[in-house]
Structure 1
Amino acid sequence: MPKPTKGPRLGGGPAHERLMLANLAAALFTHKSIKTTETRAKRLRPLAERMVQFAKRGDLHARRRVLATITDKTVVHELFTVIAPQVNERQGGYTRITKLGFRKGDNASMVQMELVLEPLTPKVKRSKTATVAATPVGSENVVVEDVVADDVVVEETVVADDAAVDDAAVEADKK
């Protein structure tokens, strides 16, 4: 037996909640952005992320799993052919929730939920080890070389006192 979700149901029983989340997901994939309440968006996020993961797989079984939830074939086709290639490089975090304020009638917290379709920019990783060039003990400048992820060597000249130069020379001799 499946474990029921914690917290109150969104507007009725479990079948109604399942249908409502499927309709919200279909609207999200169709329009790329929807305006809804914060509670509904928080409940929709895991479902939408899972559907995008299935679309990234792209095989027949994944398509049938998505069709079991979202019954509109045009929405599923758009998810597999348009959205999945745009988020192919992304490892997760396919949706973004932005708070908008409160609804006028019942003061419900409203949010904008949208798909993150921008291309992913990889972060530049710097190595933790820095090599220090050995310099004579009496000099004031130490050249520090950092190797960045793309095999680019960055050299920095640092003004140091004699004690720091001695320490740098000892470290260079150890390596």
Structure 2
Amino acid sequence: MPKPTKGPRLGGGPAHERLMLANLAASLFEHKSIKTTETKAKRLRPVAERLVTFAKRGDLASRRRAMQTLRNNKDAAHILFTEIAPLVENREGGYTRITKLGFRKGDNASMVSIELVLEPVTPKVKSSSSSKAAPAAAPVEEPAEAPVDETETVEQSEPVEAETETAAADEVETDAAAKSDDK
């Protein structure tokens, strides 16, 4: 069962908030862009997105639901279903954009512009996920090290240790020099 949201509402009570959001949505659909406070725009965004989704369906039930939300504003509903819905037909959500404008002079409220995103969307080419998953599933085998002959003499292994010690000492010196250069 839906419960009312807790905390302060726009304009006082929940009925007044619904009325304000219906008027804001109607203005948004008629003018394609409106200037309002940030709080009102954030509350308007899901309402407008849902109404555009109804308009994309286009059936009678969706039209009635939109009319119910818009408080029987026939002009806004007509614009929504005939002009806006065909423009966002290929878009999968994200029908609105909020842009910050600054602060209002009188009460320093954060002002924003909320607008409909009506630019055509370019459909992304869906690559097959199996082709990406196949290389990840088959781990790359590293070449096995050649077996070491145990008959080697101790004299042959000692120079190798000496070479690795000098290489390690050189690395430590270069690291120390690099750290002193960074400071």
Alignment TM-score, normalising by the size of structure 1: 0.70
Identity %: 77
After TM superposition, give the deviation of residue 2 of structure 1 in Å: 2.8
- State whether structure 2 residue 31 is matched by structure 1 residue 48: no
Question: Which fold has the larger relative contact order, with Cα–Cα distance below 8 Å and residues 6 or more apart in sequence?
Answer: 2
What's 2:95 paired with?
Answer: 94
Letter in 2 for 1:48: A
Q: Which residue matches 2:121?
A: 120
Q: CA deviation at 1:128?
A: 4.1
Q: Distance in 1 between matches of 2:94 and 2:69?
A: 20
What is the CA-CA distance between 1:124 and the residue it aligns to? 4.8
Greater helix content: 2
Structure with a larger share of its residues in strand: 1
SS in 2 for 1:82: helix
List runs of 5+ in structure 1 lacking aligned partners: 132-166, 168-175
Cα-to-partner distance string for 1:122-167 (whole Å, 9 max, x where unaligned): 33566648x9xxxxxxxxxxxxxxxxxxxxxxxxxxxxxxxxxxx8
Q: Unpaired segments of 5 or more residues in structure 2? A: 136-142, 144-183
Letter of the 1:23 counterpart: N
Counterpart amino acid of residue 41 in structure 1: A
Q: 1:17, CA displacement in angstroms?
A: 0.4
The two structures have a TM-score, normalised by structure 2, of 0.67
Cross-structure match for 1:107: 108
Pair member with larger Rg: 2
Tell me the matched-pair count.
Answer: 133
Quote how far apart the aligned CAs of 1:7 are. 3.2
Could you say what secondary structure the match of 1:77 adopts?
helix
